[in-house]
């Protein structure tokens, strides 16, 4: 018998709890370094100028209506999303062995991929997540019934990649495991493998017949270069892997609340690849239908207009450089300030880490003091969203860090 008295209270989501605490703090000094959303130099959300343009065009387009999209989403978006991530001249596209469904942003794409593997992978595989990873990965994959294991990723000593630990885990994982990889700008550490390390990772995974599950939420946002940020995925495809990709357009288009993203499944090359891929696509469509019926149209229309119009696409690249450039400036500025103050410790990692986040190495106790004494909000693992820093608060933040580290 089901009774609600058996349902225990769930803990508050740590990140959304942090946002709430920040909102309720009356201090005029408060600094929000928690949420992974871009902020401009005035700490305000930024509507990308190119997004505003596409949005206006949609409003003025008499042919736009509010009908359902198809199960797989807006075809113009999914085709463009494919080209964007795997490259227009990818063998996967030429050989018709990639299928794509529009999803509820990156989260929905990760979920759809997890659900598909849980249902169709013959061995009920274990999925290996980096330690640490985006916290939602644990929830999403356990919700669909996959076994979860972790591989070492972050070295607290170097504040860089624990490459040896990661490789050991990949080599020791049972054949045919699923390995979740952040394509670029790893969340929460900001630490990525080098291209040579990616090559070694791919070779070790090939050796064990592991299945790569790429999560890409920061393409173009990390380096400012869309191709560079997609390199790892393209390399694995070149190497002939069967793999999947969860792609988010939240950060790189600033379309957070519009829930725009895509899931791609690439079948391994071979004579039957396109047939096999069509089978996968047909099963994904059934899963999608039962989960969300069909994806939301609004953000998809915006992203699609930009991706399919060469002029808008160029403007988007400018906007990406604006965001990634401001973040790089903040990284350099923070490191410079800490070094100038002689803040104990080495701060190289602030500029060597990439993307939205930096794993500062601050302890949980230091994070607590930053919040209680300085009104600075960040996750308790010491991760800061670089986009929360700006020319108005960077001195204050450096002073706060210096004081809690001493
Ligand atoms: N994957 C990673 C690694 C992320 O950092 C995020 C967002 O923070 C997502 C996926 C999904 O985000 P969204 O569902 O908003 O696209």
- Tens of pLDDT along 62-77? 999 999 999 999 999 9
Going by the DSSP 8-state scheme, the letter that residue 60 receives in this structure is T
pLDDT in tens, 176-221: 999 999 999 999 999 999 999 999 999 999 999 999 999 999 999 9
For the chain, give the percent of residues with pLDDT over 90.
95
Does the C-beta of 219 come closer than 6 Å to ligand 1? no
Residue corresponding to tokens 């998809």: 300
Q: What number is the average pLDDT over the span 272-283?
A: 98
Going by C-alpha positions, the residue among 365, 356, 47 that lies closest to residue 190 is 356
Q: What number is the average pLDDT over the span 222-247?
A: 97
Does the C-beta of 105 come closer than 6 Å to ligand 1? yes
Q: Of all protein residues, whose CA lies closest to atom 4 belonging to ligand 1?
A: 217
Does the C-beta of 263 come closer than 6 Å to ligand 1? no
- Using omega within 30 degrees of 0 as the cis cutoff, is the peptide bond preceding 18 cis? no
pLDDT in tens, 346-380: 999 999 999 999 999 999 999 999 999 999 999 99
Q: What number is the average pLDDT over the span 81-105?
A: 98
What is the 339 CA–ligand 1 centroid distance (Å)? Answer: 32
Does the C-beta of 189 come closer than 6 Å to ligand 1? no
Active-site residue set: 134, 215, 251
* pLDDT for the residue 12: 84
CA dihedral 25, 256, 35, 183 (to 10 degrees): 180
Out of 16, 36, 106, mutate this one to test ligand 1's pocket (max ligand atoms within 8 Å of CB): namely 106
Out of 222, 248, 356, mutate this one to test ligand 1's pocket (max ligand atoms within 8 Å of CB): namely 248
Going by C-alpha positions, the residue among 308, 315, 255 that lies closest to residue 37 is 255
Going by C-alpha positions, the residue among 308, 287, 241, 261 that lies closest to residue 80 is 308
- Whether residue 354 contacts residue 185, with contact meaning beta carbons closer than 8 Å, is answered with yes
pLDDT in tens, 329-350: 999 999 999 999 999 999 999 9
Average pLDDT of the chain? 96
What is the 139 CA–ligand 1 centroid distance (Å)? Answer: 13
What is the 87 CA–ligand 1 centroid distance (Å)? Answer: 21
Whether the ipTM is more than 0.90: the answer is yes
What is the 247 CA–ligand 1 centroid distance (Å)? Answer: 9
Distances (CA, A) of 238 to 64, 78, 199, 401: 39, 21, 11, 44
Does the C-beta of 253 come closer than 6 Å to ligand 1? no
Give DSSP secondary structure letters for 245-313.
EEEE-HHHHT-GGG-EEEEEEEPPSSTTHHHHHHHHHHHHHHHHHHHTSS--SHHHHHHHHHHH-HHHH
- Whether residue 364 contacts residue 378, with contact meaning beta carbons closer than 8 Å, is answered with no
* pLDDT for the residue 133: 97
36: pLDDT strictly greater than 90? no
Cα distance between residue 286 and residue 296, in whole Å: 17
Which atom, in ligand 1's list, is nearest to the CA of 104?
Answer: 14
Going by the DSSP 8-state scheme, the letter that residue 101 receives in this structure is E
383: pLDDT strictly greater than 90? yes
Q: Of all protein residues, whose CA lies closest to atom 8 belonging to ligand 1?
A: 36
Instruction: Specify the pairing of strand 178-182 against strand 160-161.
Output: unpaired
Cα angle for residues 370, 136, 307 (degrees, 5° grid): 100
Q: Rounded to two decimals, what is the model's pTM?
A: 0.96
Going by C-alpha positions, the residue among 218, 201, 268 that lies closest to residue 85 is 218
> What pLDDT band is residue 15 in, cutting at 50, 70 and 90?
confident
| 214, containing H or E segment | strand 211-216
Does the C-beta of 258 come closer than 6 Å to ligand 1? no
What is the 354 CA–ligand 1 centroid distance (Å)? Answer: 16
Which atom, in ligand 1's list, is nearest to the CA of 105?
Answer: 16
Does the C-beta of 134 come closer than 6 Å to ligand 1? yes
What is the 108 CA–ligand 1 centroid distance (Å)? Answer: 9
Q: Is 68 exposed, middle or buried (0-12, 13-18, 19+ CB in 10 A)?
A: exposed
* pLDDT for the residue 2: 86
Question: At 92, is the secondary structure helix, strand, or coil?
Answer: helix
Look at the alpha carbons of 305, 311, 315, 316 in this order and tell me if their dihedral is positive or negative: positive
pLDDT in tens, 47-62: 999 999 999 999 999 9
* pLDDT for the residue 184: 97
Which atom, in ligand 1's list, is nearest to the CA of 250?
Answer: 16
| 148, containing H or E segment | strand 147-152
Residue corresponding to tokens 């939420």: 217
Going by C-alpha positions, the residue among 124, 204, 191, 129 that lies closest to residue 348 is 191
């Amino acid at each position: 018998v089901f009774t609600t008295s058996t349902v225990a209270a769930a803990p508050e989501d740590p990140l959304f709890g942090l946002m709430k605490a920040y909102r309720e703090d009356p201090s005029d000094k408060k600094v929000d370094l928690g949420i992974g959303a871009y902020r401009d130099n005035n700490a305000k959300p930024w509507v990308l100028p190119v997004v505003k343009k596409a949005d206006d065009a949609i409003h003025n387009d008499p042919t736009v209506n509010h009908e359902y999209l198809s199960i797989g989403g807006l075809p113009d978006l999914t085709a463009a999303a494919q080209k964007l991530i795997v490259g227009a001249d990818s063998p996967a596209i030429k050989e018709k062995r990639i299928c794509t469904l529009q999803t509820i942003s990156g989260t929905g794409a990760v979920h759809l991929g997890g659900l598909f593997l849980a249902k169709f992978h013959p061995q009920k595989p274990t999925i290996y997540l980096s330690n640490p990873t985006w916290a939602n990965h644990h929830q999403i994959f356990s919700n669909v019934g996959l076994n979860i294991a972790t591989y070492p990723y972050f070295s607290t000593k170097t504040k860089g990649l624990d490459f040896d630990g990661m490789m050991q885990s990949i080599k020791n994982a049972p054949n045919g495991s699923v390995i979740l990889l952040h394509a670029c700008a790893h969340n929460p550490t900001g630490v990525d493998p080098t291209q040579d390390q990616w090559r070694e990772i791919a070779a070790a995974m090939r050796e064990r017949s592991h299945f790569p599950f790429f999560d890409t939420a920061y393409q173009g946002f990390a380096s400012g270069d869309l191709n560079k940020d997609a390199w790892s995925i393209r390399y694995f495809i070149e190497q002939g892997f069967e793999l999947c990709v969860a792609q988010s357009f939240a950060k790189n288009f600033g379309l957070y609340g519009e829930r725009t993203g895509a899931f791609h499944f690439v079948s391994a090359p071979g004579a039957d690849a396109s047939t096999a891929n069509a089978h996968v696509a047909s099963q994904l469509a059934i899963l999608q239908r039962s989960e969300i019926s069909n994806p939301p149209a609004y953000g998809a229309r915006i992203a699609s207009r930009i991706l399919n119009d060469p002029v808008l696409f160029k403007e988007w690249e400018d906007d990406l450089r604006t965001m990634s450039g401001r973040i790089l400036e903040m990284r350099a500025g923070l490191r410079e300030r800490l070094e100038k103050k002689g803040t104990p410790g080495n701060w190289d990692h602030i500029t060597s880490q990439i993307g939205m986040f930096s794993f500062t190495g601050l302890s949980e106790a230091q994070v607590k003091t930053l919040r209680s004494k300085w009104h600075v909000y960040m996750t308790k693992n010491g991760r800061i969203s670089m986009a929360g820093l700006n020319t108005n608060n960077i001195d204050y933040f450096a002073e706060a860090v210096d004081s809690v580290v001493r």
